[in-house]
Amino acid sequence: MRTNATIDYLPYLKSIPMLEVRQLKAFVAIAEEGYITRAAERLGMQQPPLTRLLQSLEAELGVVLMERLPRGVRPTTAGLALLEEARHILASVDGLADIVRRAARGERGRLAIGFTSSAALHPFVPSVLRLFRETFVGVSVVLEEAGTGELLDALQHEKLDAAFIRSPLSGTQALQDEPILVEPMLLALPTDHSLAIDPSTPLPLAALATEAFVLYRRRVGLGLYDAILVACREAGFSPQVVQEAPRMTATLSLVAAGLGVSIVPASMQRLRGDGIVYRELSECRSLVAPLHLATRVGDTSSVLERFRELVVNAAFTEV
């Protein structure tokens, strides 16, 4: 608890801008030891320079801090006020050094991470985010879900530090991406669809030539959208897209409502929505859903580097 003397002298002490840490350390050592010789031994220095530090501190403050006794010294009223504040200041200085070192190692700071709705449903993403938060408890993590285009725009404008996206980058030199993993894609059908009768058997993609398709909006999820179109053309037809949805979850809602069929990443099965049956597709091994980690080129953040390393190591372990 702070004394009344501390309260009386504190405004005066705060008005002195030139106090040095070494002066405060010298003063605290002398006050705690009660003898300048013992304080000098504790600090590993000679008595004369320690005495000069005390004298310079008293001169700067314009007060006597130590009462000279026949044997040793003891703090004056002003000295007692300074002693309590000096201990707080020195503890803060020591803590500040630790904070700075931890920040330099990427163990402290803030990280803003984005992800698409389909990426968030892959078990890898929530598990790696949980692992990072448990490993680096000093880092504040901010999460944001959006479409690919929105995430990339946020990255470029430094509103995000990293983003999990579903397609490799192209056409921008400001951003870079790192492949993390690849998962298969499945056909999503309404439960009353004729092709939903035997979901355990893989279905040739060509069997969907006359079907109406519901797809994830291209300007939001251009990677998956284009991959589906290419695979269908390789199977000998151009899909009839009757509806585009702003989010992958909305795509499944439209499928369940009977508006058409869709092709989605296998991890979307985790939604377990009513009215939907999933079937594997055959003869289209190239139809896969990748997961990439996008970041800014030249970003030297230590926190971001720790996150990137953890993501890459976790992906390698999963593979």
Instruction: Give the domain ranges of the chain.
Output: 4-104, 109-179+290-318, 183-288
Q: Does 245 have pLDDT greater than 80? A: yes
CATH tag, 4-104: 1.10.10.10
Per-residue pLDDT band at 100 (split at 50, 70, 90): low
Q: In this predicted structure, what is the pLDDT of residue 95?
A: 65
Per-residue pLDDT band at 103 (split at 50, 70, 90): low
Q: In this predicted structure, what is the pLDDT of residue 241?
A: 93
- Tokens in use for 231? 């695979």
Please check whether residue 142 is in contact with residue 171, taking contact to mean a CB–CB distance below 8 angstroms: no
Say what percent of the chain tops pLDDT 90: 41
Domain 109-179+290-318 and domain 183-288 have a common topology: yes
Of 87-96, 101-110, 256-265, highest mean pLDDT? 256-265
Per-residue pLDDT band at 102 (split at 50, 70, 90): low
Q: What is the DSSP letter of 268?
A: G
Q: In this predicted structure, what is the pLDDT of residue 304?
A: 92
Q: Does 188 have pLDDT greater than 90? A: yes
Name every residue whose Cβ is closer than 8 Å to that of residue 83 and which is 6 or more positions away in sequence. 27, 28, 31, 75
Output the CA–CA distances (angstroms, integers) from residue 80 to 66, 89, 221, in the order listed: 9, 14, 67
Measured CA to CA, the distance from residue 224 to residue 4 in angstroms comes to 70
Q: In this predicted structure, what is the pLDDT of residue 149?
A: 83
SS3 279: strand
Q: In this predicted structure, what is the pLDDT of residue 106?
A: 56
Q: Does 14 have pLDDT greater than 70? A: no
Q: Does 9 have pLDDT greater than 80? A: no
Considering the entire predicted model, what is its pTM? Answer: 0.65
Please check whether residue 82 is in contact with residue 13, taking contact to mean a CB–CB distance below 8 angstroms: yes
Q: DSSP H helical segments within the chain, as ranges?
A: 4-14, 21-33, 36-43, 47-61, 77-104, 117-121, 124-135, 148-156, 222-234, 248-256, 302-318
Q: What is the dihedral of CA 157, 162, 164, 168, to 10 degrees?
A: 70
252-305 pLDDT, tens digit per residue, is 999 999 999 999 999 988 877 789 999 999 878 778 889 999 999 988 888 899
State the fold for domain 109-179+290-318: D-Maltodextrin-Binding Protein; domain 2 (3.40.190)
Per-residue pLDDT band at 211 (split at 50, 70, 90): very high
Q: Does 161 have pLDDT greater than 90? A: yes
SS3 207: helix
Q: In this predicted structure, what is the pLDDT of residue 104?
A: 58
Please check whether residue 238 is in contact with residue 232, taking contact to mean a CB–CB distance below 8 angstroms: yes
Measured CA to CA, the distance from residue 306 to residue 290 in angstroms comes to 22
State the average pLDDT over residues 146-167: 90
Class of domain 183-288: alpha beta
Do strands 276-282 and 162-165 pair parallel, antiparallel, or not at all (unpaired)? unpaired
Q: Hey, which residues does 282 pair with through a beta bridge?
A: 204
Of 170-179, 244-253, 256-265, highest mean pLDDT? 256-265
Exposure string (b/e) for 248-270, b if CB count within 10 Å is 16 or more? bbbbbbbbbeebbbbbbbbbbee
> If you write DSSP's letter for every residue of 177-191 in order, what string do you get?
EEEEEEEEEEEEEET
Name every residue whose Cβ is closer than 8 Å to that of residue 77 and which is 6 or more positions away in sequence. 5
Per-residue pLDDT band at 138 (split at 50, 70, 90): confident
The region of weakest confidence among 54-68, 92-106, 133-147, 171-185 is 92-106
Q: Does 182 have pLDDT greater than 50? A: yes
For the chain, what is the mean pLDDT? Answer: 84
Measured CA to CA, the distance from residue 315 to residue 293 in angstroms comes to 11
Q: Does 219 have pLDDT greater than 90? A: no
> Which of 48, 288, 46 minimizes the C-alpha distance to 179?
288
Output the CA–CA distances (angstroms, integers) from residue 294 to 82, 98, 127, 162, 178, in the order listed: 52, 31, 18, 6, 6
> Which of 36, 95, 86 minimizes the C-alpha distance to 61?
86
Given the structure tokens 């300048």, which residue do they identify?
A: 36
Q: In this predicted structure, what is the pLDDT of residue 286?
A: 78
Q: Does 206 have pLDDT greater than 90? A: yes
Torsion region of 272: left, alpha or beta (phi above 0 gives left; psi -120 to 50 gives alpha):
left
